[in-house]
C-alpha cells in the first residue's frame, strides 16, 4: 500500500529578488514497510521537502502539486483534519528539533499537550503515554527523570532525543525524520538509528522518510534511496543499488565523499565533488549539475535531462538517455 506520494511537488520561497526553487517537481512514492532515504548536500532542498511533505509551510514558502497521504491530498484537507493526522498519521522530526521544544513546559507537560491535542480523534490515556515515554527514553539513552525536567535543563543532545521521543510517541504511520542524528555524537547516533529501526520492526511506524546529508548514515536504515540535487531527484532506487552501483555523476561524487570507515560500503572510484550547488534563484537551463560535472556534454547545458529507468533505478542524466547528440 502506498502510504505517501507526491505529484510534481514544488516548494518555492518567494523573495524580493525572485523565487528560490528549493523543491522543483518531485515525484516520490513510499509504500508500507519501506524506508526512503533522501540524501544530498546541504542546500539541496531536503529540509524544505520535509516541511512540504507534512504541510508545515509558512510564507514566504509556497507549495504547488500534491502530497498524498494514503491517497488523500493533505493540502486539500480541513485544518482540523490535518491537525488530527499530525503525530498519528504523519509526523515530522524537524531539523534542529531540539530548538522546537517549548522551554516553559516540562517534558511531561509536553506529553500531556500531545495527548490533549488528539483527544477528539483518538483515545489516548496520559498514564499509558507517560509509561511508553519512560520505556522509550531508556532505549535512546535518556534517564526516566528526563520527563520531569524543562528543556533548558537538558543538554542539546538530550533535547534532540526528547524531540525524537515526542515525534514518535503516538506511533505515527509515516515518520519523516530530517537529519535526526546531526547534533549527536557517534555512539548516540547509532542508538537513535537503532531506536528508529526497532520501532519500524515492531510495526509502531509503518513507513519512514529519513533525510540526511550523509548517504552512509541513510544507508544504515533505508530500503530505498533518492538522491536530491538542486531541488530535484537525480537518482532513486533500492538502497543497495544506488549505494553500490551509483549511476548519476552526482551520486558517485557523494559516495566518494564518505569518510567514515566501517560502514560496510564498498568505495566507488574516487571522483570527488568540486564546486558549489547552483543558485536556485536562477538555476542552469539544462542539467543543474552541469557546471560541476566531469562527464558533461553540449546537450547537458541546453536541455533538462529526462528521467530514465536503468535496471530498476531511475536516473536523470543524459549519459543514460537515448538521444542523438548525447555522447560522452
Which residues make up the interface to ligand SF4 (CB under 6 A)?
A: 249, 287, 289-290, 293, 295-297, 300, 305, 317-319
Cα-only R_g, the chain:
20
DSSP secondary structure letter of residue 194: H
Q: Taking the complex as a whole, how short is the minimal distance between the CB of residue 253 and ligand SF4, in angstroms? A: 10
Phi, psi at residue 291, to the nearest 5°?
A: -60, -20
Beta bridge partners of 308: 315
Residues sharing a CB contact under 8 Å with residue 257, sequence separation 6 or more, in sequence order: 272, 273
Q: Taking the complex as a whole, how short is the minimal distance between the CB of residue 321 and ligand SF4, in angstroms? A: 8
Task: Name the residue nearer to ligand SF4 (CB basis): 73 or 245.
Answer: 245
DSSP one-letter string for 113-145: HHHHTTTTTS---HHHHHHHHHHHHHHTT--GG
Q: Taking the complex as a whole, how short is the minimal distance between the CB of residue 84 and ligand SF4, in angstroms? A: 43
Taking the alpha carbons at both ends of the chain, their separation in whole angstroms is 40
Q: Taking the complex as a whole, how short is the minimal distance between the CB of residue 310 and ligand SF4, in angstroms? A: 12
For residues 210 and 219, give the distance between their C-alpha atoms in angstroms, rounded to a whole number. 10
DSSP one-letter string for 4-70: EEEEEEEEEEEETTEEEEEEEEE--EEETT-EEEEE--TTSSHHHHHHHHTT---TTEEEEEEEEET
Task: Name the residue nearer to ligand SF4 (CB basis): 67 or 300.
Answer: 300
Q: Are 34 and 223 in contact (CB under 8 A)?
A: yes
Task: Name the residue nearer to ligand SF4 (CB basis): 22 or 293.
Answer: 293
Q: Taking the complex as a whole, how short is the minimal distance between the CB of residue 290 and ligand SF4, in angstroms? A: 4
Task: Name the residue nearer to ligand SF4 (CB basis): 94 or 246.
Answer: 246
Task: Name the residue nearer to ligand SF4 (CB basis): 144 or 294.
Answer: 294
Task: Name the residue nearer to ligand SF4 (CB basis): 219 or 290.
Answer: 290
Q: Taking the complex as a whole, how short is the minimal distance between the CB of residue 238 and ligand SF4, in angstroms? A: 21
Amino acid at each position: 500500500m502506498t502510504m505517501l506520494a507526491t505529484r510534481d511537488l514544488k516548494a518555492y520561497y518567494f523573495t524580493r529578488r525572485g523565487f528560490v526553487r528549493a523543491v522543483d517537481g518531485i515525484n516520490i512514492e513510499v509504500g508500507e514497510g519501506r524506508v526512503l532515504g533522501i540524501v544530498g548536500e546541504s542546500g539541496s532542498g531536503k529540509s524544505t521537502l520535509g516541511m512540504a511533505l507534512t504541510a508545515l509551510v509558512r510564507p514566504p514558502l509556497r507549495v504547488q502539486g500534491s502530497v498524498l497521504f494514503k491517497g488523500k491530498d493533505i493540502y486539500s484537507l480541513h485544518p482540523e483534519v490535518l491537525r488530527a493526522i499530525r503525530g498519528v498519521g504523519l509526523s515530522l522530526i524537524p531539523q534542529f528539533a531540539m530548538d522546537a521544544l517549548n522551554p516553559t513546559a516540562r517534558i511531561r507537560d509536553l506529553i500531556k499537550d500531545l495527548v490533549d491535542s488528539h483527544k477528539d480523534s483518538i483515545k489516548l490515556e496520559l498514564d499509558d503515554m507517560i509509561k511508553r515515554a519512560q520505556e522509550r527514553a531508556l532505549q535512546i539513552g535518556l534517564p526516566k527523570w528526563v520527563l520531569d525536567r524543562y528543556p533548558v535543563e537538558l543538554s542539546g543532545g538530550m533535547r534532540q532525543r526528547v524531540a525524537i521521543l515526542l515525534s514518535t510517541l503516538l506511533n505515527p504511520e509515516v515518520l519523516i525524520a530530517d537529519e535526526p542524528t546531526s547534533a549527536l555524537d557517534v555512539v548516540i547516533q547509532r542508538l537513535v538509528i537503532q531506536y528508529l529501526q526497532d520501532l519500524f520492526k515492531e510495526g509502531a511506524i509503518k513507513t519512514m522518510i529519513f533525510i540526511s546529508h550523509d548517504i552512509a548514515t541513510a544507508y544504515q536504515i533505508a530500503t530505498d534511496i533518492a538522491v536530491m540535487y538542486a531541488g530535484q531527484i537525480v537518482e532513486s532506487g533500492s538502497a543497495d543499488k544506488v549505494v553500490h552501483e551509483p549511476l548519476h555523476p552526482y551520486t558517485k561524487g557523494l559516495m566518494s565523499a564518505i569518510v567514515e570507515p566501517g560502514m560496510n560500503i564498498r568505495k566507488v572510484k574516487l571522483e570527488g565533488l568540486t564546486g558549489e550547488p547552483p543558485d536556485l534563484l536562477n538555476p542552469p537551463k539544462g542539467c543543474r549539475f552541469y557546471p560541476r560535472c566531469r562527464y558533461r556534454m553540449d546537450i547537458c547545458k541546453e536541455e533538462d535531462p529526462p528521467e530514465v529507468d536503468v535496471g530498476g533505478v531511475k536516473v536523470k542524466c543524459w549519459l543514460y538517455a537515448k538521444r542523438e547528440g548525447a555522447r560522452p
